[in-house]
Structure 1
Amino acid sequence: MASLKELRARIGSVKSTRKITSAMKMVAAAKLRRAETRAAAARPYADAMRRMLAEVARSMGGEGGQPKLLVGTGGSTTHLLVPMSSDRGLAGAFNSNINRKTRDMILKLQAEGKTVRLLPIGRKTFEYLSRDFSDLIVDHIHMASGKDVSFKVAADLGEKISGMLDRDEFDVCTLVYNRFQNVMSQVPTEMQLIPLALPGNDNQAAGETAAYEFEPDEGALLSRLLPRNLQVQLYATMLETAAGENGARMTAMDSATRNAGKAIDRLTLTYNRTRQTNITNELIEIISGAQAV
């Protein structure tokens, strides 16, 4: 049985931990509101970009000379995976879910005879993938999420991916990220960036087609819109990651704070019982000694 001194030390240690987890929970909650607002504001813009590109691409039909960002290289041999995690831990299963999904995708593609290349975004997924798949990593980027997500990071990443595509370093590019649903739920999601996965046309399902005239022509529009769309999609997922990270951390720290409180109650009860036992034993010794005299 632990001594009273040891129990007091353990109770003090758990109380200190509870203060830290409680403070982290409040910080994450303060960051979450702004991050959630920015992520929600970016979704309609990103969806509108995809719908607009879908209309422009459909108007071109199967014409040749379409940009690589739209149709890719025409092959599917080499896959570039871009997993996106946070730079810090203490966020529950937020990062491990992305790491597990990415690992499953790698093993599946390799089993199909595909070549896999990795461009991890965020320190946690980079550290995880470096252990088993270091030879597949072509580059990595930190600071993908946080209090202020910069569009410049997404723009630079988009230019890097476009440059790799121009050099035919991959055929298919897929983004893996946590889609923020609410504080309790962040869903690991994969989004194909190249070739661009265009949304369906609801009018076509109803037997209707809309005719558009574009100025400048469709090719000129796509050449300008596709690089911007790649940057916008990356930026939107970075905002989703930032919101999801803060939501997951707030939930994890709330759970840790509650568990610390329960641990303090158990230790305090044990401490009181041990103290009472010691007092009782001392009284018995005194009484026994007095009777012996």
Structure 2
Amino acid sequence: MEELSRIQARLDSLGDLDELVGALRSMAASRSREATEAFAGTRAYCDIVERAIDEIAPLVRDPGDFGTGEERVLLVITSENGFVGGFNARLIECMVTERRQDETLIIVGRRGRVTAMEHAATADFGFSMCTHVAGVTGLARRIAARLSNVAAARILYAQHRTGASFDVDVEDVLPLSRPDGPAAAPPLFQLPPPDLMRSLAGEYLFAKIAHALMESLASENSARLTAMDAASRNIGHKLETLHRDERAARQEKTTNDMIEVVTGAQAVGGTF
């Protein structure tokens, strides 16, 4: 039987760990909820920019003519921190399959870049992933600035689903495509249509990146919540086992102490 003092030390350690897991769980639940509630705003903004592009596209020769460079980019959005189960591995495995030979690889998220190296893939460029909703806009602007002159851009990210699940989605963002439907009535505008289209293309890129970041942030924290739930259950089982061992060890110690007392008393009594 393990010594009582060692069992009590393990109980104290597991108790502290259980408190930490509980704090991480609460934080993950809060951040996932915040990101999910922000979906409506990012989706609505994407729709507004798309409608503006559809209205301007008939007035320009090639709505897909956005960047002046030739670079083609695959942007992969992963997590900055750990405790997310197989979240990053699933994204990187899809990236390995989806990446085209001529694409520059940009990975958002430190953990994703580490996982990519484990799959013999190295990012050409990286960004730190934001850890809360307030950081999405600034990060999306920085990424959009990096991609401002690319010829083509695709985004691979975790698309949030109910029930703490996600789908890996790969979305073509650039070049812009000409709308399939009938041309709408030309809107009022002040800028030359090509200049306006370039501005809208940049804003469309930003909007798509921001929404993908928000989806990924919700998915990441849902995965973390699932991992913390599993960790909490595991700790609970171990605590239950250790409490049983503690009771048994305490009873054994009490029994041994009584035997020593009785044996000592008999020994003393036998000397008279």
Which TM-score band applies after superposition, normalised by the shorter structure?
Answer: 0.7 to 0.9
146 and 197 in structure 1: CA distance in 2 versus 1, 3 angstrom threshold: farther
1:1-293 equivalences under 5 Å are: 1-54=1-54, 56-57=56-57, 59=58, 64-69=61-66, 79-106=72-99, 109=100, 114-131=101-118, 132-134=120-122, 137-165=123-151, 172-182=152-162, 184-196=164-176, 209=182, 211-216=184-189, 218-280=193-255, 283=258, 290=266
Shift, 1:225, TM fit: 0.9
Q: Which letter does structure 2 place at the counterpart of 1:248?
A: A
| Unmatched segments (≥5 aa) in structure 2 | none
| Unmatched segments (≥5 aa) in structure 1 | 166-171
Alpha-carbon RMSD across the aligned residues, in angstroms, is 3.2
> Matched residue pairs, number?
264
Task: Compare CA radii of gyration and give the structure with the larger one.
Answer: 2
Percent of aligned pairs with the same amino acid: 23
Q: Which letter does structure 1 place at the counterpart of 2:96?
A: R
215 and 251 in structure 1: CA distance in 2 versus 1, 3 angstrom threshold: same
More deviation, 48-57/3-12: 48-57
CA contact (8 A) 1:145 1:241 kept: no
Shift, 1:163, TM fit: 2.5
What TM-score do you get using the length of structure 2 for normalisation? Answer: 0.81
Shift, 1:18, TM fit: 0.3
CA contact (8 A) 2:131 2:217 kept: yes
**Counterpart of 1:168?**
none
What whole-Å deviation, never above 9, does each CA across 1:177-223 have from its counterpart, x for those lacking one?
1122236123221111223367x86xx5xxxx464224447534422
C-alpha distance in 2 between matches for 1:36 and 1:53:
26
Shift, 1:284, TM fit: 5.8
What whole-Å deviation, never above 9, does each CA across 1:95-137 have from its counterpart, x for those lacking one?
332222222324xx4xxxx334211111111222245222xx3
C-alpha distance in 2 between matches for 1:9 and 1:164:
58
Shift, 1:21, TM fit: 0.9
C-alpha distance in 1 between matches for 2:35 and 2:102:
36
CA contact (8 A) 1:145 1:238 kept: no
What whole-Å deviation, never above 9, does each CA across 1:33-59 have from its counterpart, x for those lacking one?
3322223321122134335434544x3
C-alpha distance in 1 between matches for 2:260 and 2:46:
78
3-state SS of the aligned residue for 2:173?
strand
C-alpha distance in 2 between matches for 1:192 and 1:282:
75
C-alpha distance in 2 between matches for 1:160 and 1:34:
27
20 and 145 in structure 1: CA distance in 2 versus 1, 3 angstrom threshold: closer
Shift, 1:234, TM fit: 0.7
C-alpha distance in 2 between matches for 1:194 and 1:223:
12
C-alpha distance in 2 between matches for 1:164 and 1:227:
11
